[in-house]
Homo-oligomer: A and B are copies of this chain.
Amino acid sequence: MNLDDPVLQSLNFLNEVVDRYPKSISFAPGAPHERFFAGISVARYIDRYCDHLRGKGFTDSEVRRRLYQYGPSRGLINDLIANALRCDEGIEVGPESIVVTVGCQEALFVTLRALGCDAVGIVDPSYVGVAGAARVLGIDIVPVRDLTRLDGFPVLYVAPDFANPTGNRMSLAARQRLLADARRRGVILLEDNAYGFTAADHLPPLKALDTSGQVIHFGTFAKTCFPGARVGFVVADQPGLADAIATVKSMVTVNTSALSQAVIGGMLLEHGGSINAMARGKAVLYRRNLRMLLDAMDRHLTGLPITWNRPAGGFFVVATLPVPVTDELLEHCADSFGVIWTPMRHFHLGGGGTHALRLACSYLDPEDIEEGVIRLARFVEAL
């Protein structure tokens, strides 16, 4: 692999632009809103988790060992995650089918390695981390534009709910069709569910519909709890697969920070063990932000040479311009109009997205969304 690969470098470039224009309004980072950080109490969550362990019969010394000693590669809070997935998503798996990981990124990485596949289909465009993981592992990438043609790869990465970067959501019928096609063709589906919690109306994830072991499900607590903990997970109930994933993980990071797992575990317990209950306030804010962004675009951009999609959830909107959307155009826009976004070409694997940009609304406050769209309008007018 060439480490100068554009996919591997794009995140660095974007962070750099955000740093260089600190007075700009940035629709670039798909990061969680920081208003929720003030309510975080690490010590309280850890205490809550420790109380839970004591309630299960752990002595103080066993509690300390669990928090501070080396732990199982598979994870510590698998039972809490299994319970949440059953209640929140209708996914019925035992704790032994789950591996807790250093964010969803490590889950994707170790799973790709454990599967031993030499090619992975990736819905194009997608979150850059999947292609990055494949490149680090030397696995061929097959960009997939059409989910009705599952050709040329044994494994397909797909995010059915408000995918990054498109905001697209698959209908229930589309999910069922994809599952049936995957089963017929023997394709394993890697389902990334990072944004499903933002839905006003819940649709079952592929894994909840999966009766033939076709789906491996990925989750993260970065959006539902907070990113600084770095806790994600993979659900792999195919025979032997969770074991293989844990074995690979043992050679990548040994195990996931027990402190981080205790914090997430305690936070879950405070919300009755439900990820949805924990994330309810966040989902309300993200839906409000998305509605505000789309409203502001309607008010300020209608009639200008720009079009955009209308996602029903998630963090992202994609807009299309009549000109090529390059990194240079981004710098010009940041410099002259004080607004930042992400060129869609960074997310495309097959050379698409040349005229499109991604707007993320998760990180902003209402007044910035409004002012950001006004600046965007000035930029588009001047094109």
Contacts and interface: CB of A to CB of B under 8 A. Distances in A.
Interface of A: 1, 3, 8-9, 11-12, 31-32, 34, 37-38, 40, 42-43, 46, 61, 64-71, 102-103, 105-106, 109, 113-114, 116, 129, 132-133, 135-138, 222, 226-230, 244, 247-248, 250-260, 263
Contacts of A66: 228
A322 B38 CA distance: 64
Contact of A43 (B43, B64, B69, B229): B43
Contact of A106 (B32, B71, B137, B252): B252
Contact of A257 (B43, B229, B248): B229
A133 B137 CA distance: 12
Contacts of A135: 251
Contact of A230 (B46, B254, B263): B254
Given A3-B114, A260-B257, A260-B259, A70 B250 contact: no
Q: How many copies does the complex hold?
A: 2
Contact of A253 (B46, B105, B251): B105
Given A42-B43, A67-B228, A105-B252, 12 more contacts: A3-B248, A34-B69, A68-B227, A68-B228, A71-B228, A102-B253, A106-B252, A132-B250, A133-B251, A138-B138, A228-B257, A230-B256
A103 B256 CA distance: 10
A70 B222 contact: yes
A69 B227 contact: yes
Nearest to A67: B228
Given A34-B64, A43-B42, A230 B255 contact: yes
A145 to B, nearest CB: 23
A236 B226 CA distance: 30
Contacts of A106: 252-253
A244 B114 CA distance: 24
A83 B68 CA distance: 25
Nearest to A101: B253
A263 to B, nearest CB: 6
A38 B32 CA distance: 35
Nearest to A71: B228
Given A136-B251, A228-B259, A64 B46 contact: no
A358 to B, nearest CB: 17
Nearest to A255: B230
Contacts of A257: 102, 228-230, 257, 259-260
Contacts of A34: 61, 64-65, 68-69
A2 B114 CA distance: 10
Contacts of A256: 102, 230
A96 to B, nearest CB: 14
B250 A69 contact: no
Contact of A251 (B69, B71, B114, B129): B129
21 contacts: A1-B116, A8-B251, A11-B250, A12-B247, A32-B69, A34-B64, A38-B64, A40-B68, A43-B46, A68-B227, A70-B222, A71-B227, A102-B257, A105-B253, A129-B254, A229-B257, A229-B259, A230-B254, A230-B255, A230-B256, A257-B257
